[in-house]
Amino acid sequence: MIRVLVIHGPNLNLLGQREPDIYGHETLNEINERLMQIGSMRDCEVHTFQTNSEGDLVSAIQDGGQHFQCIVLNAGAYTHYSYAIRDAISAITVPVIEVHMSNTAAREEFRHQSVIAPVCEGQIQGFGSLSYDLALEAAIVLSSERNQQMKR
């Protein structure tokens, strides 16, 4: 069974009430429940974690690198300046998929740069909560491909 860790960064605990015109009305719990349902249909165990703390994000990435085949990460605003998170991603061997609900390139100038993008497997953004679904699908495919390569 594939194991994927979905990490939600700062302010994502406020989904459903935070800027619904940008992030929608779905809560983080609703997104997490849907991801777990998708995972169960795809023989994938999905674990979720949310924190507003940069240090806790670093620890979750480091731990996730030891216990999961892939990490889906929405680092929130830390995406744009956290070299500690970038270094944590660089230090692990499992792929990390960067995800954002909004299209960061179409928003404020400071959101255009992702310091973690160069060390992530890829980015999915701009599709609302569907961005998470797409990132989970990518995580499952990547993990399956890696498992097949390891069996050879």
Query: What domains sit in the chain, N to C, each tagged with a CATH number?
Result: 2-151 (3.40.50.9100)
3-state secondary structure of 54: helix
Residue 23 and residue 120: Cα distance in Å, rounded?
23
- Say how many C-beta atoms besides its own lie within 10 A of residue 48's C-beta: 18
Distance CA 36, CA 29 (A): 11
Helix (H, G, I), strand (E, B) or coil at 148: helix
H/E element, 89: helix 83-91
Among all residues, which ones are annotated catalytic?
23, 100
pLDDT per residue as tens, the chain (152 positions)? 999 999 999 999 999 998 888 788 899 999 999 999 999 999 999 999 999 999 999 999 999 999 999 999 999 999 999 999 999 999 999 999 999 998 777 677 777 789 999 999 999 999 999 999 999 999 999 999 888 888 77
Chain CA centroid to CA 130, Å: 12
Q: What is the dihedral of CA 33, 39, 43, 46, to 10 degrees?
A: -80
- Predicted TM-score (pTM) of this structure: 0.94
